[in-house]
Structure 1
Amino acid sequence: MWKRAAKRKKIEVGAMFKDIRALGATDAARGRIATGEVQTQLAHTSSQTTDIYIKEAIPDVSEIVMDLPWADEAK
């Protein structure tokens, strides 16, 4: 069944089901889904395992709003 699905979606021969899970985990992290939620969806008992599935560093983004002194000058 995996081979048929991979052929339908034109996935390279070396791809495995875990590769698709890793892609999903990485996309979720990029979409700012919390690592804990990704861990739950992947049914991992350890966040370290989830970190292995997330294939690139996703930088933390601050939600802090700050007035910058030079921002007023541009107006």
Structure 2
Amino acid sequence: MSQYRLCRSLPPPEADIQRKIAQDFYILKRDLKERARLHEMDQGADEKLSPKELSRRAAARAGLQLPELDSEEEARRKE
């Protein structure tokens, strides 16, 4: 970001390139922080969470959503 701020007097095409580099770097840094946070949350999850919750989280990471089960249907499965 400091490199981008120092180059404010660049011609427009070069300024656009610098702006894109700064934006890409920001997005990369944000995504790496999120990945580290998710990795930390997942450590030991198989010992702490139920199989249903593990499946829900895996589906969410893939951009999917598990269907909600009725409480009656879930009760029948437990029997």
TM-score (norm 1): 0.30
Q: Which structure has more helix as a fraction of its residues?
A: 2
Larger radius of gyration: 2
Normalising to structure 2: TM-score of the pair?
A: 0.29
